[in-house]
Chains A and B, each alone.
Chain A
Amino acid sequence: AQSVTQLDSQVPVFEEAPVELRCNYSSSVSVYLFWYVQYPNQGLQLLLKYLSGSTLVKGINGFEAEFNKSQTSFHLRKPSVHISDTAEYFCAVSDNNAGNMLTFGGGTRLMVKP
């Protein structure tokens, strides 16, 4: 079985500061990893995903994430955040044995302060 742990439920940060949102997963096989963002009163939308190849994945809105197999992590980073980045961020994992299911983490609320 696969699982996802997002270590921080809330991350407050000042505007223009860097941010890292942490995600760790557990799976016995090769994985596919995703980050989704949910803005207030909206559905989730994809930020980026790792399927194979380069372990550094670039997404929309200046976000990037790095797949680290040895540490079973897929942390999300942005060098300088904006007020508009205030949202909930979900890490998700799937694999070929998961019956096509995505397993989502509990989410991290990013709060960008002026």
Chain B
Amino acid sequence: DAGVIQSPRHEVTEMGQEVTLRCKPISGHDYLFWYRQTMMRGLELLIYFNNNVPIDDSGMPEDRFSAKMPNASFSTLKIQPSEPRDSAVYFCASCRGLPSTDTQYFGPGTRLTVL
């Protein structure tokens, strides 16, 4: 298996622009997570899905952030409009069983820079 795939790996954009991050989870995994990593705040869970349904989005910082999972093999995280404070590394992860006990597999991340 190719593992969790994220694209793009790097994104540089200007404030106010729309940004879309993409993720393909490992086939057969029922859970998908979006995390954000910054020096100041560490690793934060933004949202997670179970069988394509959003379960908990309490970590989404504000309405500028939205996430979708139209099918079992694809998810997007969108920021509109983007701001410099959104600059971070965004990780997608997936796991097969209950996240409380199962291993989460992380993608390589998307490094977002908002100028």
Contacts and interface: CB of A to CB of B under 8 A. Distances in A.
Contacts of A45: 105-106
Interface in A43-58: 43-46, 49, 51
B4 A43 contact: yes
A43 B91 contact: yes
Interface residues of A, number: 22
Nearest to B6: A43
Contacts of A100: 31, 48, 55, 98-100
A43 B109 contact: yes
A44 B106 contact: yes
A87 interface: no
Contacts, number: 55
A94 interface: yes
B71 interface: no
A58 to B, nearest CB: 15
Given A101-B45, A106-B42, 15 more contacts: A41-B109, A43-B91, A43-B93, A43-B106, A44-B91, A46-B104, A94-B99, A94-B101, A95-B100, A100-B100, A101-B100, A102-B104, A104-B43, A107-B42, A107-B43
